């Protein structure tokens, strides 16, 4: 397999730290940051002092919405305006992708095929084609998405189809095997060369 592949893309030593940094940055960029909690000033109620300051034998309190009380505000409340983005430059991203695909190739997890042609859009047709492959894979990399393939793959569990132009480091790092078309291989080499 390695004889077919470009050495500057598929013969790069594995850099675990770089791959980890890029994958974490990719996943952090996907976070919505919509979690929100209320502070003691935002919680409803608590305008009146619960009991008088002295003489009751109990601890002094000024409001029922203190973080110490049930249904009180949160001390350090989460805000919705939090930005989880981490910056990764182009050189690091390309280096991590080269490192991942090189490691997949070294371990023999990449299976190269000519193309994926389905006669119809039925899931049964895709499952039959998938069973004919040498080794089943959890990721199918294609250059362009055929309508029959897009419809046939929807109900198949454990297999995902990704365009080679849109493949990301997280998807590649989490896969244990890849079936790749020759056109997709060409796209990958152009993208990361």
Q: Give me the pLDDT at residue 88, please.
A: 92
Which residues on neighbouring strands pair with residue 113, listed in sequence order?
A: 181
Q: Which two tokens stand for residue 191?
A: 């993208």
177 in a structural domain: yes
Asked if residue 175 is part of any domain, the answer here is yes
Residue 83 maps to a domain: no
Residue 140 lies in a domain: yes
pTM confidence score: 0.76
pLDDT for residue 136: 76
Range of the domain at 157: 7-14+105-192
DSSP code of residue 71: T
Is residue 130 a part of any domain in this protein?
A: yes
- CATH code, 129: 3.40.1370.10
The per-residue pLDDT for 145 is 85
- Is 187 part of any domain? yes
Q: Is residue 183 part of a domain?
A: yes
Unique residue bearing structure tokens 């280096």: 95
Query: pLDDT tens, position by position, for the chain (193 residues)?
Result: 544 667 767 788 999 999 999 999 999 998 888 889 999 999 998 888 999 999 999 999 999 999 999 989 999 998 888 888 899 999 999 999 999 999 998 988 888 888 888 889 999 998 998 888 877 788 888 888 888 888 998 888 888 888 988 999 999 999 888 999 899 988 888 888 8
Q: What local confidence, expressed as pLDDT, does residue 1 receive?
A: 53
- What's the pLDDT at 65? 93
Helix (H) or strand (E) holding 8: helix 7-10
Q: How far is 1 from 126, CA to CA, in rounded Å? A: 25
What is the pLDDT at residue 3?
A: 47
Does residue 75 fall inside a structural domain? no
**Distance in angstroms (rounded) separating the CA atoms of residues 83 and 80:** 9
Q: How far apart are CA 13 and CA 25, in angstroms?
A: 21
Query: What total of structural domains would you count in the chain?
Result: 1
User: Which two structure tokens, joined as six digits, stand for 27?
Assistant: 């996943």
């Amino acid at each position: 397999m390695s004889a077919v592949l470009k050495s500057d893309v598929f013969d790069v030593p594995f850099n675990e730290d770089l791959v980890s940094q890029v994958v974490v940055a990719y996943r952090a960029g996907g976070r919505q940051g919509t979690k929100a909690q209320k502070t003691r000033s935002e919680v409803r109620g608590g305008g009146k002092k619960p009991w008088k300051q002295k003489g009751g034998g109990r601890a002094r309190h000024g409001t029922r919405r203190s973080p110490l009380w049930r249904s009180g505000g949160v001390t350090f409340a989460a805000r919705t305006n939090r930005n989880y983005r981490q910056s990764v430059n182009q050189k690091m991203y390309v280096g991590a992708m080269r490192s991942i695909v090189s490691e997949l190739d070294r371990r023999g997890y990449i299976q190269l095929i000519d193309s994926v042609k389905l006669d119809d859009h039925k899931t049964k047709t895709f499952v039959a084609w998938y069973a004919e492959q040498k080794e089943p894979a959890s990721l199918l990399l294609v250059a362009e998405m055929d309508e029959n393939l897009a419809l046939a793959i929807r109900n198949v569990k454990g297999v995902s189809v990704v365009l080679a132009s849109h493949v990301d480091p997280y998807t590649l790092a989490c896969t244990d095997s890849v079936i790749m078309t020759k056109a997709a291989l060409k796209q990958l080499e152009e993208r990361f060369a």
